[in-house]
Homo-oligomer: A and B are copies of this chain.
Amino acid sequence: MKHAVVLLSGGMDSAVTLALARAEGFLCHALSVAYGQRHISELQAAARIAAMLGAVEHKIVDVDLRGIGGSALTADIEVPQHDRVHPVDEIPITYVPARNTIMLSIALGWAEVLGADDIWCGVNAVDYSGYPDCRPAFIAAFEQLANVATKAGVQGHTLRVHAPLMRMSKADIVREGLALGVDFSATVSCYRADSEGRACGECDACALRAHGFAEVGIADPTRYR
User: Which residues of chain B are near A67, meaning CB under 8 Å?
Assistant: 59-61
Q: Is the interface of A mostly helix, strand, loop or mixed?
A: helix
The proximity string for A residues 24-68 relative to B, scoring 1 for CB distances below 8 Å and 0 otherwise, is: 000000000000000000000000000000000001111111011
Q: Is the CB of B63 within 8 A of A59?
A: no
Q: Which listed residue, B70, B106, B112, B153, touches A70 by the CB 8 Å rule?
A: B112
What number of copies of this chain does the assembly contain? 2
Q: CB within 8 Å of B: which of A67-124?
A: 67-70, 91, 96-102, 105-106, 108-110, 112-113
Could you give 15 example pairs across A and B, Cβ below 8 Å? A61-B63, A62-B64, A65-B106, A98-B112, A99-B109, A102-B102, A102-B105, A132-B151, A133-B150, A135-B148, A138-B145, A138-B149, A141-B141, A141-B145, A144-B145
Query: Which residue among A69, A105, A138, A142 has the maximum number of chain B CB atoms within 10 Å of its CB?
Result: A105
How distant is A43 from chain B, measured CB to nearest CB, in Å? 14
Known A-B contacts A61-B63, A62-B64, A105-B102; the reply to A91 vs B151 at CB < 8 A is yes
Assembled-state Cα–Cα distance A136/B99 (Å):
24
Q: How large is the interface on A (under 10, 10 to 19, 20 to 34, 35 or more residues)?
A: 35 or more
Q: Which residue of B lies closest to A144 (CB)?
A: B141
Q: Is the CB of A106 within 8 A of B63?
A: yes
Q: CB within 8 Å of B: which of A139-163?
A: 141-142, 144-146, 148-151, 153-154
Assembled-state Cα–Cα distance A135/B91 (Å):
33
User: Which residues of chain B are near A60, meaning CB under 8 Å?
Assistant: 67
User: Which residues of chain B are near A99, meaning CB under 8 Å?
Assistant: 109
Q: Which listed residue, B64, B97, B133, B144, touches A144 by the CB 8 Å rule?
A: B144
User: Which residues of chain B are near A146, meaning CB under 8 Å?
Assistant: 101
Assembled-state Cα–Cα distance A70/B59 (Å):
15
User: Which residues of chain B are near A100, meaning CB under 8 Å?
Assistant: 149
Assembled-state Cα–Cα distance A78/B68 (Å):
33
A1 in the interface, Cβ–Cβ < 8 Å?
Answer: no
Known A-B contacts A99-B109, A106-B63; the reply to A145 vs B142 at CB < 8 A is yes
